[in-house]
A and B are shown apart, each in its own frame.
Chain A
Amino acid sequence: MSEETPAPSDLVEETVVVHGTSTEPRWKKLPLVWQLRRSVGLQRGMLVAGLVLCVLFLLLAVFAPLITPYSYNELSGPDGNFPRQAPPSAEHIWGTTVGGYDVFSRVIWGARTALLVVVVAIVASLFLGVLLGLVSGYLGGWLDRVLVTIADAIYAFPSLLLAIVLSIMISGGQSSFLGGILAAGLSITVVFVPQYFRVVRAETVRLKAEPFVESARVIGTSTPRILGRHVLRNATRSLPLILTLNASEAILTLAGLGFLGFGINPTAAAEWGYDLNRAIADVASGIWWTGVFPGAAIVLLVMGVTLVGESLNDLSDPRLRIRRRARTAPPPTPAEPVAEGAPR
């Protein structure tokens, strides 16, 4: 069964196999590199802008302790307690919050929290969603029907509500750093599993009828092996796309949970949604720095991820892709990658 667990590195491999053409060197066929090379004009601009934003936040998350003057939960410096709601100054370049935290430090540290939650959410939902989708699509029968109905029901439901219910269940609503990350991540997981499930199931149902699956069955290959080697390898091509879309939804859901007071305790981690919740009251008295900076961080990160996702989507959809002019790209078999890369 271990073959079925889709570690992220496996997925990278998948995409290489699906998209690459045999004449190109291997590094040029890596997912993002490949798309970057094929894109032109506006689509390339969007892809590059998105990638730059993503990398920027990744760096901020990794180097948060080096960049920030204070820790996310520091309330006092060498000269005593931080002032509350102090406007931006030399000591606190983005001011301080109503609780006396340094806004700049919390915004930068928040990137770390957001990215951790995204990783937890995506790894968990990818694992569950792909597994269920494969099994359900391949085996069919009543199990398939039940799972599809459940997935449809969950799918139609407001994801934030579901995440709230989940976070109540997992953490009782308030939590430590790790507990909070896991609670937020897993709450989001439940919302995403149906999406991966659907896509993988649909692909599996299609692939089940392919001759290569049938011949594998004829020579007596075991079901787990067929699923792992023959179906999974071919069913994952549209996953990178949902992945980016889900990453942005995960960030928004985390912020929504935090905003409603179901995120992570401010002493345990910096979380943008929580900070925005506290900032709503500040606005009435014209205090803008407590809300604008964490909010802008959310917007930029989500935009970055969404831009990447949108460009990938456009590039994989022949109706939407801008094509190179003939002189710049003489592809040996022009129709082949188009037909292959289109998710339907």
Chain B
Amino acid sequence: MTIVDDRTVGTTAAVRSKGSGLGGYLLTRFLLIIPTVFILVTLVFFLMRVVGDPITASVGDRLSADQLAERLAEAGYDRPLLVQYVEYLGQIFSGDFGRTITDNRLISEILITYGTATLELAIYALIVALAVGIPFGMIAARLRDRWPDAVLRVTAILFYATPVFFAGLLLKLVFSVWLGWFPLSGRATSDTQLTLSAISGSSGINMLDALRTGRPDLIGDVAIHAVLPALTLGLLTAGVFLRLVRTNLIGTLGRDYVDAARSRGVSESRLVRKHAYRPALIPIITVMGMQIALLLGGAILTETTFEWRGLGFQLAQYLGARDFVAVQGIVAMLAVIVAVTNFIVDVAAALIDPRVRY
């Protein structure tokens, strides 16, 4: 995925010409969220609705023609598609993503209930990815084209080539079934989950709640459940980070100021750690933001593999039940999340590296 390096160019380049100074940049960048979300929501709406209405898709075979027509009229699906589209846009704008067909729940409620679990998983995964990707990427760049580099690069490709659900399956097989070290699936044992949900002001992030209770048995239970899913999702991203750090570091190691430092007798390991490391990390922050897409896609599969009851798991359930209103709603919501995250990351990059603003 060396393509990753080029990813940042498009979004920032579009902004570059207009913004002047940090304030201008932030404003243009913020306004760019709107077309992005608009395009994705429109795309998803028409793609999902071009073939038919969601009620027929989910419960059509269980209802008579009259009942079906009644349900359709009730939900407004018998009106022209464009009218529905305008109405849908209005709803989205006011934060209403609709209700699921199969169990009649508010989509925004699903986000709040399950989004935290996904966030928790994503944070663990990001920690694993950074802890593995950055140091090993530095080693690979430093020992470039020698055997450790070869081993690391092939390992990174291996991580990338392994679909998350297969990695999850292997980890489950080895560490849960054969060795019995970690639980097979879930976020916590049901007792723990009950205790955690019961505390007042439960954040939904299990680890946070467990830490607040201060009970080591709860913390341990939550932690032990998180290990395999976090590894599964984290290693996928770690491979990308490793390659990115390696390529960028090799780039900065070839710069003049690094040569100058080397000629002053700065040791090779200090060169990597002090001189080349920082400038090489800036593009990584931006790419990290782009990884949110990869991470979310991976989260759907990881959550399904480990029955981690997050947004992705829920999405897969609705997919299985052919509840396409729920699917459309969740996907539209994820579009908003992705756009906002990318904005935040771009802002962070602009604050760290002034060159981005111009």
Contacts and interface: CB of A to CB of B under 8 A. Distances in A.
B58 to A, nearest CB: 11
A18 B287 CA distance: 31
Taking residues whose C-beta sits less than 8 angstroms from the other chain, chain A's interface range is 35 or more
A165 B297 contact: no
B319 A164 contact: yes
B316 to A, nearest CB: 6
Nearest to A279: B169
Interface string A160-171: 110011101100
A154 B43 contact: yes
Interface string A110-144: 00000000000000000000000000000000000
B158 interface: yes
B157 A42 contact: no
Nearest to A344: B6
A169 B40 contact: no
Contact of A156 (B47, B150, B293): B293
Interface string A230-265: 000000000000100100100010011001111000
Contacts of A292: 169-170, 173
Interface string A312-340: 01000001101000000000000000000
Interface in B9-64: 10-11, 14, 35-36, 39-40, 43-44, 47-48, 50-51, 57
B322 A160 contact: no
A33 B240 CA distance: 28
A157 B293 contact: yes
Given A155-B7, A291-B169, A299-B158, A256 B163 contact: yes
A199 to B, nearest CB: 8
A323 B39 CA distance: 46
A151 B294 CA distance: 17
Contact of A283 (B1, B50, B177, B250): B177
Contacts of B39: 149-150, 153-154
A291 B300 contact: no
Contacts of A299: 158, 161-163, 166
A285 B2 CA distance: 39
A158 B294 contact: yes
Interface in A165-182: 165-166, 168-169, 172-173
Contacts of A306: 157, 160-161
Contacts of B334: 157-158, 161
A157 B40 contact: yes
A305 to B, nearest CB: 8
A303 interface: yes
B93 interface: no
Nearest to A42: B150
A164 B296 CA distance: 13
A276 B10 contact: no
Contacts of A152: 10-11, 14, 36
Contacts of A41: 145
- Residues of A contacting B: mostly: helix
A154 B247 CA distance: 26
Interface string B285-309: 0000010011011001100110000
Given A195-B3, A276-B169, A42 B250 contact: no
A258 to B, nearest CB: 10
A42 B294 CA distance: 29
B277 interface: no
A319 B293 contact: no
Contacts of B162: 295, 298-299, 302
Interface in A183-240: 195, 198-199
B293 A280 contact: no
A40 to B, nearest CB: 10
Interface in B121-171: 145, 149-150, 153-154, 157-158, 160-163, 165-166, 169-170
B331 interface: yes
A336 B157 CA distance: 31
Contacts of A78: none
A161 B300 contact: yes
A310 B149 CA distance: 14
A153 B36 contact: yes
A303 B342 CA distance: 29
B3 A242 contact: yes
Contact of B51 (A156, A169, A245, A260): A169
B335 interface: yes
B173 A165 contact: no
A259 B303 CA distance: 12
Given A259-B165, A262-B319, A299-B166, A322 B145 contact: yes
Contact of A151 (B10, B57, B163, B251): B10
Which 4 residue pairs are nearest across A and B when measured between Cβ atoms? A295-B166, A302-B161, A160-B297, A158-B297
5 contacts: A158-B294, A160-B297, A160-B301, A259-B163, A283-B172
